Amino acid sequence: MTLGNRHAVAEGKKTGFLLWGILILLAGLAPAGAWADVSAPEARPRIGLVLSGGGARGMAHVGVLQILEELKIPIDCVSGTSMGAIVGGLYAAGMSPAEMEKLVTSMEWNQAFRDRPPPNELAFRRKRDAADYLINFDLGYKDGGFTIPKGLLQGQNLNLILKSLLLHTEDTTDFDKLNIPFRAVATDIETGEAVILDKGELVRALRASMSIPALFAPVEIDGRLLVDGGVANNLPIDIARQMGADIVIVVDISTGLSGRAHLTTSVEITGQLTTIMVQRNTAEQIRTMHARDILVRPDLGDIASGDFFKAADAVAAGRKKAEEMKPVLARLSAPQPVFLAFLKKQRRKDQEPPTIETVEVANRTSLPTGLIAAQLDMKLGEKLNLEKLKKNIDRIYGIDTFESVDFYLKRKDKGSAIVIEPLEKSWGPNYFRFGLGLEDNFKGTSSYALTAQFTKTAINSRAGEWRTEARIGENPHIYTEFYQPIDYALSYFVAANAGYRVRKINAYNEDGDITTQYRAQSGFIGVDVGKQFGNWGEIRAGLRREYGVVKVLVGNHTSDDDPYNRGSFFLSAAYSTLDNYVFPLSGSDAYITWNYNLKMLGSDIEVQALAFKWMKAFTWSKFTFMPSIDIRTTLDNDDMAVQDTFPLGGFLNLSGYSVDEIYGRHTGLARLLVYREIGSAGMGALTMPLYVGLSAETGNVWNKRADVNLESLILAGSVFIGTKSYLGPIYLAYGQAQRGHSSIYLYLGQRF
């Protein structure tokens, strides 16, 4: 190397040192992070998912999630409102979009949005109430005034469903510690403020976020009464930003405003006002979106917020819209290793069910803990069985004095404790219940009956109750009973009762015209003892003393009045496993009663009577078949007074005849009913399924046992359309019977 070259090299080194010094100085003066931006590759942006509320329309979120995963888009945080909170919470807790689709398309939404357990889980005494009082609404009475529930639904069944899906999150009280950080939005009903739920029990947060005012009761969290978050913040983009999202994927499924043609009722106008509020806060949130944010608005057509039976269509609509937006969404796709790492973190890990070491009752109700615990049937030392646990909770809830019955797990050294937490009805402990019946054959014969029942519950530590029932309209009566369970299991009981009733009895000629009309009125007192067998059966025995008088109102008057006395001993047994008392799909129902009028008990006549009824429901394909038999007869005496006879006639009771058109001392009726569901109308808890069906019937009445024979049976049948309304079942039917009898019926009330 020459001297000149050595000099050039030396100068080059000096220049290099000088440049490095300047760069180091600039680095010291530059803002923090600027150097990293220059020297390091750009980090993956933090992606937030924002899911709006919208009821059943929210099922579209599931379809969008499916496409996001197909595109390998990892989600770093989730915020949601109402149904968006439900879907977002399930995703954040580890459920896959495929699992969610299977869940929402297979769920029995009608049952999910009803509080009352299925009849099979009700206490047997409550089963009879469910059959007689199909208007499932209790009007409370306390502190000298009437009270009503805070919502049409308390969310009991929905809560149990969410609990079973999210049991693995019981120990996670910080929503940042879920598989994906999550926030739910609710509204403080006292202040109207949006409440951000980021800790506590996940199920409780989801319930609060979707508690539609008036439909669902508010949920109390940290001393605040919370309802659906849609009123305050239906599209929580700002919450996702607060969670650190650089880019948000926003899925808006909110309902649009209705035109004038659809604003014809007060309900529709009230709904429009709610929609206006939701639309305004949604628009405010959308205006905050950045250029890189993505808005997905599925085309949900005529799918309404209550159309849960269209869940599959909503999922498909969400998927379709996301597929259309794949070119835009694909910008957020991550490399395969990054997305696989996300899935590994997001997916719920299969966990072995905990071993149940103890069962505890966190009791703050007026009923004793022993009584509640006696309803539980769980073996200690076994793995938790959620289905069996649900049946136990349904059994407690079936006592029908609780607003809700919740449960949670408490970790122990060697296993877990299940803690049962009942909450007494806030509008109790005294209740009014109402029943309604209406029948019209469009031939001038109509009848109605309005029944009111007042029940005073939890009178003592053995759950004694006093019930009084009054009925006006057809065959009015008043009845009161003090019912006292003897043991904590509520198996054995005693009951004292008394009542007064009026019964109208019509005698018809061959043309269907009334020839004689009687009025029988009587008062009675009685005492019963009995035993309930779980929730499927009951036996009773009792004594009854009755005094009455019969008057002829229309027809030949043989005397002004005809008094009578009855003193009787009775035995009865009842059995029921029907899955529903209105259009059941499975199960059986039966009862048998033997009544013996004895002169030694003050009876004018000594006669035995027997009543037997049986029915069974089974479903094949889409059709339900229900055969039944109804027999009422005297055993040893054909000489009975008119008030002791048994009637036939009316819809499904020899259809074609007027109500109770024919009477006899011996009656028999056999019937086969066939029906199927053809659709539904309404929304959520107010959905009304529609049925069509037909019946084939045969039977008759006889005054003498010697006259009973198969040749004298009358053939009859009917066709009908019916629905389960909130007031009870409604039927429109046409019936026809031999001997020229036919009728059109409009019937409201229980008929099976």
Calpha distance 244→647 (Å, rounded): 75
Calpha distance 478→499 (Å, rounded): 5
Q: Is 350 among the catalytic positions?
A: no
Other beta carbons within 10 angstroms of residue 286's beta carbon come to 15
Six token digits for residue 104: 């929402």
List Cβ neighbours of 15 (8 Å cut-off, separation of 6 or more).
Answer: none
HSE, side-chain direction, 13 A CA sphere, residue 271: 20
Give the largest CA-CA distance in the chain. Answer: 153
Sign of CA dihedral 245, 248, 252, 257: positive
User: What are the Cα distances from residue 737, in Å, to 445, 566, 627, 639, 743?
Assistant: 17, 36, 19, 29, 9
Peptide bond into 45 cis (omega under 30): no
The dihedrals phi and psi of 216, each to the nearest 5 degrees, come to -110, 145
Pairing between β-strand 247-251 and β-strand 294-296 as defined by DSSP bridges: parallel
Q: Is 76 among the catalytic positions?
A: no
Q: Say if residues 651 and 671 touch (Cβ distance below 8 Å).
A: no
The catalytic position among 76, 115, 228, 644 is 228
CA–centroid distance for 611 within its chain: 34
Residue type, 195: V
Residue type, 95: M
Residue type, 671: R
Calpha distance 191→207 (Å, rounded): 19
The catalytic position among 82, 209, 305, 743 is 82
Kindly give the interhelix angle for 83-92 and 202-209, rounded to the nearest 10 degrees. 160
| DSSP H helices in 152-201 | 156-165
The helix (run of H) or strand (run of E) holding residue 383 is none
Q: Which residues are catalytic?
A: 82, 228
